[in-house]
Structure formats: structure tokens, C-alpha cells
Chain A
Amino acid sequence: MSQWTTERVLALAPDASSLSSARELSSEAKWPSSGTQNHALWGEAKGSGAKPYQTAVDLREPAFKCSCPSRKFPCKHALGLMIRYAKGEIMAAAPPGWVTEWLEKRDEKSTKQETKSDAPKTEIDVEAAAKRSNKRWENILAGLEECEAFLADAAGQGLLASQSARSWDHMAARMIDAQSPGIARRLRQIGLTIGVGPDWGRTVADQMGNLSLLMEASRRVESLNEDARADLRAALGIPQKKDDVELAPVADVWDVLGQVIEQEDRITACRSWLLGRGTGRWAMHLAFSVAGRPFDIRLLPGTAFVAELAFFPSAWPLRAHLDDAISEPFSPRIGATWDASLDRLSHAMAAQPWIEQFPVHLTGARFGTDGQAWWVVDQNGQSGKLRGPLPWPVLALSGNAPAEVIGEWDGSSLRLMAAWGPWGFVSL
């Protein structure tokens, strides 16, 4: 339970206003009653109505319940209550009836799910799954044919004269119908890039070329080995399930080095990058959330845990599944140079050409600028361009002294995720 700190709680806030409201609600005066027992935390918060709001938290996940009308998740009451808990202001007590009832229901539901997943699959199940998979693949191929004609038309007419962003959106929607969200995402991205920025022509050429290769590979799927097929399926956006993971998990102490949270329509995707302390192996934990539901708190950058990670099949396995974990102090291995990192990327791409984000961890890194963009310079004086958040918090803390820097490389630029040094850890 001691793993909860104010910082960790604040990381759960769905937006800045929730964070500010939660701070307001973290005073004792707002909570006429509150208590905790084992993994349960609860309290009654005074609101504008006559009846106080009943707020409960199951600290295991965490899961939240509150009787307030807020649609944010977790609401400010749950966050305020958790801040008080993190500060050690909540005393042990026996939970009231409404809390035990909620917890019992949760346990019941979880037991049911476990029983269901533990049940052996019947022959009928396997057959039905194969049938569904074949049907999906047929849908994808049909969609790809339309998409190929669309791309050929765009290339033939020229991007300056052809379709508007709306038509790319339209095609993307068609690919969603064809059960290929990976292609749909790429199409939408192209539509948004055309005509935007000084270098859009090259960027779109990259994106369209990459998409065409992906479609060509899909047509030749039979000639690919199992791992390459798995990579192709993932690139097409076919969901990877927990059951798909490799049987031999990798045990290690995993340091959580960085995290990127991106909004895709109504879904929020969170990529957490982990580095095995003993094995030196990289892992990427991918999670999705709707309606602002919080992500796994164990994956907070700047923390570490002991766990067995199960990797999804791939010619260059990165994505992994996490079950149980025991927290550990953060103490990652040292990083590399740009040369070594890009060399590793070359090998990775030779095996898995659909890699979109690749982790880069530099040691002794400093920041420089060419007047237009910021660059991260390694200890050998070699540099890579930055995109996304600027390095101000890192510079404020380090004074541009050499630091460990972690980012996501997309083939052209680095999205800075975190940095650390003797001055502490900062996540961007």
C-alpha cells in the first residue's frame, strides 16, 4: 500500500482542472468521514447537496466508485481522497456497508472472468475462432483492394490536385469497416499531413510508400513466417490478445523509463517503455483507455518492478504483457550513443519493417539548437532532432549538464519522454 505517493495519485488525474480540484478536496475538512482497510479506501465528501458523496477506491487496480454526477474518471473526489491516503491522513477502520457491497460485487465479477478464461477451449470454440479469423482476413483483403485503387488514383492525379482530407477520412472509415484499423489510422494521418508544413511532400511520400508496402505484404501473407505474419497483423491493427503471448515469459527487474500518451479519436493509447535491468531487453507495454479511465499505476515512469513479462510474437519482440509485479527502486542500466541506437534500429527494421516507434536511450546527453529545432546531442557529439515536447523541464533541472535521456524515435526525430541525472527524474 505504501506505493501510493501524491505524485502517483496526481498522475491519475484525467485533466488539469481535476488535478486542481483534487488538491482543493484533499483537506480533512472536506471529508466528514473516511477510512481504509486492506486494499479498500472510502470516504464521504461534502458537496453542494444535502447528502454527502460516497467515494470508494479499490487500491489494487485502482478502481473507483463515487456517487457524484461527474463524468470524469477518476472524479475529483476519488483523487482528493487518494491524496489524503498518500499523505497518511486516513486511519484504518471497518468499511461501511456500501463499500463492502461494492467490493464484493467486484470480487464476484473478477472470479467469474477468471473462471471463464481458465476454462479449456472446446473444438467448437477453436473452429469458430478460425472461421472468424478467415472471415476477417477476407474483409481486409477486399478493403485493401479498394484502398489500393484509391492510392493509385491519388498518385496518378497528383496530391496537389486530388482528394481532400475528407476523402482520406472517408477511405479510412471504409477500412474500419474492413476491420483494418491500422490502415485506417495511416490513411487519416496522410489526409491530415497533405499541404501542412513546409516538408509535407516528403512526409506524405514516406507515409504512402510505407502503406503501399504494407498492403503488398498483406497480399503475400502466405509466404511469410509466423513471426512476420504476427507483425503484419499487428500493423494492420488486428488486436493482439493476452492469449497470443509467447509461452516463455522473461523475468527481470524492469525499469519504467518513459511513457507516451496519445489521443486517437475517443480512445487514449499509452505506450510505456521498459528496460530489463539484467537482460538489457526492451519492452513496450501498450494500453488503451476510454472515458479517461486511468492507466496501470505500476507503469509510472521513474519506477521499477520485478515481473515476468510475456512478449507478443514478433520478429523483433517489443510489445509485452504484464501480470503480477513487485515494486523495486528505480535504477536503470546506462544508455548508449546515437550510433549504437540507430545501429540497433537497423537490425530491428531488417527483421520487423513495420516498427513505427523505437526506444532510444542516450547516456551523457545534452541539448542543442540550430535556431529552428532542438536536438539531443550524445557524448560523442552526435545529434538527433527532437519533436513534441521541448526539453525545458530537463534543462531547468540539469542546467544542460550531461543526462540520461529516453525518447521514441520515429525514423526522423525523437519524441522526448524522460530524462534523469543526479538532480532527479523528469517525465515529459
Chain B
Amino acid sequence: MKEFDNLATALQVGVRRANPDRLPLLKEWTCGSPEKACLIDLGVLDLMRRAGMTPRDDLAPVDGAPPETRRYALASVEPLLEALDLEAVQAILEWAEEAAGKELLAAPAVLVRFLELPPKTRTALLPVFGERAHWLADLMGIRLRPPEPAEPATWEDLGWRERAERIQAAEKSPENLPLFEAAATEKRKEVRDEAFRTLAQIPGSSVATTILELAMGRLTVVRKLLSKELKVSPPTPEELPPQMPRTAAFGTLGPNALALYDLVRHTPPSFWEQETGLQPGDLIALAEKSDYAEALISGWLRAIPHNFVEPRWSDALLLARVDVNRPQFRETLCQHASEAAFEEAVLGRRFHPDAVFAYAMARGKRLSPAVSELLVDFIKQRHSISKAWPAYHLDLSAIRFVSEPWPDESESTRQHLFRVIELRLRLHRSL
């Protein structure tokens, strides 16, 4: 309505300043001031507009959601909504893994709440997102998949950090050898060290060959009448390849022991098995009795998993009589050790309770019923332990240990554990 627009403009700039010729309705008003006349006219026009409103007829609805090829997990809606209210994201992710395994999808009733979760969580939920979820995410302007990576920049354009990262990310295969070998001569030490570590892991590379040649004959088994002994011949620092990353100081190790430590951490642990003909457990036991116990054990701990992923060695170190309460064990053993070895070590009560928690958390997977029971027992006795995370890693059978009241000082922890495990249990049963 032109009259309305003219009056609205007059109102903005000031009715006293407006051109009366452009306000015909105003001129017709016979009572009151021009300001009042303008306002009353606007009121009348507003009434006319609202009462005479007509709908728009040139807009089509958006296309409907495509049909699903998998079934919805409808029975999971209620416990999932509860988990969302409690912000129990880990329980939801656990459910999603199980649901995806059963070829089930998140039901429409939870989709909006799921899509509003942080991007990282949404990505983890992708396996339970069907056609409806992707369709809805598009409408909501939410990107479910990370954007396609841009064309990689050339080596020359990269800074030293990016170069080190690129080496780390590159596949450790003979095809990439030229890249790694070029990087091994870089100016920046961080890039050179990364390249060396990588080359050491590629069988047949010049670095791997040099290391194995240097390692040969360093450990020999001396057989006695009733026992065996490990004879260790450490290299001197000068013998190490010049490009090998060196450790400046480590515990009480002297220069030769330090050189041995550096050599061991860059050598595939399986090489020592071939050298000595011993299984990892026997070799570790002999190494512990040798003069170079610290250099060897720490070297192996460092080699796994930083340089070489060898689950048999993880298990052997975990079950050996070395000091398992060292923080290095968290990365070294707990990510790669088998469930059986982990359980045996924990049930043997060789860990400090705090270490058990840290290691169990590092594993990031559901604990066995026996380990769960032990952990619940720890929690009950040490009620000060952070209560937040174990509830999501304990086996569901642990519900029976947290169903009855505990002593007052640990009762609130028990209630929290019960609440979360019971919710996980309901999510599990809903599938």
C-alpha cells in the first residue's frame, strides 16, 4: 500500500518535515494535529491490511524426505531422549555403535537433538543417520560430513610444522621413500627426526638397514647349566648414524646406555626375537636382570606404539615384572594389549588403582566383567576418584555391584554409576 509506505516514511523522518502533497490521507483528516492524523491513518491502514491479508500462492513446499532403506530403532527413543537430557554423550555413542551393527537407524524423534550436538559427536553418529537425517541436516544447513580436503599444498609451500605433519600422515610404504629421504636432509631438526623415525619403520629403507646392521649382535643369550643370561654390547654414541634423533638424558643412563636406548627404540622389537631366539616375555625377563635393564625396557616401551605396533610385545611388557605403574604404560600398553593380558595384569593387582583408571581410560573400550568388578571395588573404597568417566566404560554386568547402597561417603558416586549403567543397559535392551 503506497499510502501506508508514505506515512511510515513520514513517521521516520518526522511528520513536520514531510511533504504534505505526498500524504493525501493526512490532508483529509479534519480533527487534531497532523501528527495525530498520521498516526490514526496508520492505525486504520494497519487494520485494513491485517483484515484483508491474502496468502501467498507462488511458493512450493520443499520435497519430502526420501524413503529409508533401513529400519528405525523406535524403541530407543525414550532412553535416548533421557540420555540427551543428561548429556550422556558417551552412552549415546555406545548405543550408536551397537545400533549400526544391527543395521538400525536413529528414529526421527531424536534427529533434531542429534543434529544439534557438536560436530565431532555428529560425525560419530553418521552410521545411524539414514536418508531422513541427511535430508533434514540439509534443510537445517548442517554439514554432516567434513568438507572435501583442498588440493594439498606443494612441499615448498609448507612450513616446518606442516612438513613434519605430512610425513607423519603419509603412508609408510616404499612408494613414499623419496619423500621421506628428502625430508631426512631438511634443515629443521623436527622434520629430520620425523623422517628418520618413519624411515626406520619401512623395511628395506636405507635407515632401517643401517639400524638393523648396527643392532646385530648387541644382544646375545649365554646359556649356563641351569640358567640363561643376556649379554648386552651397547653401541658407543659415535657408532650411531649421525641423523638418528638422540636423547640428551634419560634417568641415570650413561652415554653408552643412552646410545643403546636410542638404538632399541628405533629397532623393530621383533628383530630381537630373531636375534636371540626367545619369546618377548623371556627376553624381557632376561633383560631385567642385565646391567642395561633400564635402557632396554625403556627402549622397548618407547618403541611401542610410537614406532612399531606389536601387540605381542605390549602383552609381554604388561605381564612382565617391570614397574607397570610408570606413566609410559598408558600409551604403550593400554592401547594395544589384548583384553586377556590387561585383565590378567589388573586382576593380579599389580597396578596402583589410579594407574588402573588411567590405563583403562586410555584403552577407550568397554572393560571386561572381571576388570569392571575390580574397578567398582576400587571406586567403592576410594570414593574420591573422579566418578565421571568409569560409568561409561564398565561392563553392563557391573549394575549388580552398584544396585545396593554403599557407605555414606561413597553413596553419591554409586548413585551416579547406577544411573549411567542403568541407562546404558536400557539403551542396549532397546535394540
Which residue numbers of A lie inside 8 Å of B, CB to CB?
A: 16, 19-20, 23-24, 27, 29-30, 46, 148, 151-153, 155-162, 201-202, 204-206, 208-213, 216, 338-339, 342, 345-346, 349-350, 353, 366-370, 375, 377-378, 380-385, 390, 392-393, 395-397, 399-401, 411-412, 423-424
Contact = CB atoms under 8 A, between A and B. Distances in A.
A385 B56 CA distance: 9
Nearest to A200: B12
B86 A23 contact: yes
Contacts of B136: 392, 395-396
Given A162-B14, A205-B46, 10 more contacts: A24-B419, A29-B414, A29-B415, A29-B418, A156-B15, A158-B13, A201-B9, A346-B52, A367-B61, A383-B57
Contacts, number: 184
A385 to B, nearest CB: 8
A46 B63 CA distance: 53
Interface in B1-28: 4-5, 7-9, 11-17
A397 B12 contact: no
B46 A400 contact: no
Contact of A212 (B36, B52, B415): B36
B49 A209 contact: no
Given A209-B41, A209-B46, A210-B46, A338 B55 contact: yes
Contact of B11 (A158, A382, A393): A158
Contact of A377 (B52, B61, B108, B418): B61
A76 to B, nearest CB: 12
A395 B108 CA distance: 9
Contact of B55 (A23, A212, A383, A393): A383
Contacts of A367: 61-62
A151 to B, nearest CB: 6
Interface in B25-84: 33, 35-36, 38-47, 49-57, 59-65, 82
Nearest to A151: B39
B427 to A, nearest CB: 14
B135 interface: yes
B35 A156 contact: yes
A399 B132 CA distance: 7
A401 B61 CA distance: 10
A400 B63 contact: yes
A345 B85 contact: no
B140 interface: yes
Contacts of A209: 39-46
Contacts of A393: 112
A400 B61 contact: yes
Contact of B16 (A157, A204, A412): A157
B53 A411 contact: yes
B140 A392 contact: yes
Interface in B388-411: 405, 411
A253 B15 CA distance: 53
A349 B9 CA distance: 26
B354 interface: no
B87 A20 contact: yes
Contacts of A157: 14, 16
Contacts of B53: 342, 345, 411-412
Nearest to A355: B50
B372 to A, nearest CB: 19
Nearest to A194: B12
Given A155-B38, A396-B109, A24 B46 contact: no
Given A205-B4, A206-B46, A212-B42, A350 B51 contact: yes
Given A161-B14, A392-B112, A395-B139, A20 B86 contact: yes
A208 B39 contact: yes
Contacts of A412: 50, 53
A275 to B, nearest CB: 21
Nearest to A47: B412
Residue from A19, A349, A396 whose CB has the most chain B CB atoms within 10 Å: A396
B343 interface: no
Contacts of B132: 396, 399
B8 A201 contact: yes
A152 B55 CA distance: 34
Contacts of B42: 205-206, 208-209, 212
B177 interface: no
Contacts of B94: none
A125 to B, nearest CB: 38
B51 A345 contact: yes
B11 A152 contact: no
A383 B62 contact: no
Contacts of A216: 40, 43
A346 B47 CA distance: 10
B40 A213 contact: yes
Contacts of A46: 411
Nearest to B139: A395
A381 B47 CA distance: 26
Contact of B36 (A148, A377, A390, A400): A148
Contacts of A205: 4, 7-8, 11, 42, 46
Contact of B59 (A155, A213, A368, A424): A368
A383 B55 CA distance: 5
A24 B12 CA distance: 54
Interface string B112-126: 100000000000000
Nearest to B56: A383
Contact of A201 (B12, B45, B50, B109): B12
Q: Which 4 A-B pairs have the closest CB atoms?
A: A209-B42, A158-B14, A399-B65, A209-B43
A161 B11 CA distance: 10
Nearest to B41: A209
B310 interface: no
A208 B40 CA distance: 9
Contacts of B415: 27, 29-30
B293 interface: no
Contacts of A204: 8, 11
Nearest to B66: A399
B417 to A, nearest CB: 10
A396 B108 contact: yes
Given A397-B109, A399-B65, A19 B85 contact: yes
B65 A152 contact: no
Nearest to B131: A399
Given A216-B40, A383-B55, A396-B111, A349 B11 contact: no
A339 B52 CA distance: 11
Given A346-B51, A400-B63, A381 B12 contact: no
Residue from A155, A201, A401 whose CB has the most chain B CB atoms within 10 Å: A155
B422 interface: yes
B43 A381 contact: no
